[in-house]
Amino acid sequence: MKMSHIGIMVSDMTKAVEFYTKALGLRIVMDNTPVVEERETAIGRMCIEVFGEGFKGFNIAHLVTKDGVGFEMFEMVDHQERHRVDFSRIGLFHFSLQSDDFEATIERVKQYGGKVRMDIMRYHPEDDSKPAKMVYLEDPFGTLFELYSHTYEETYASDYE
């Protein structure tokens, strides 16, 4: 099994594309494109199946990470302004990215309207041979994501405290 893509709801597609390309280094595959509610095309019928009758349309953009994972972003005509995280609800609550330029990525996140949610944490502060770090961040719309300094396997290859 391979990861294909994730879907993210945003309130401003122009700002979202700027954030995800300039702050996080994703590449545009398909830029901001309007989708209207209609039944004449396969995509139109699929959107009605997914979003229900009366969804009123949306803008969509497709971006991709360096390792080929897609980010499908939706700006619905009717939407809230910010994502509200509720840790008591079941379901996805964040995604994670890994950067070879950890600190600079954090600075770009802040520069392009994102937020740092915590201090940077080392998984093994007692062992200098295991320098893996992480931090929770937010995009400009309140979507949580985690940033790793090392790969997932390098980070979790041994127990941590």
The closest of 64, 58, 60, 54 to 77, measured between CA atoms, is: 58
Q: Measured between alpha carbons, how far is residue 100 from residues 62, 131, 138 in Å?
A: 23, 12, 19
Are 97 and 114 a contacting pair, CB within 8 Å? no
Each residue's pLDDT tens digit, 43-66:
888 889 998 888 889 999 999 999
Each residue's pLDDT tens digit, 101-150:
999 999 999 999 999 999 999 988 888 888 899 999 999 999 999 999 99
pTM over 0.85: yes
Partner residues linked to 115 by β-bridges: 138
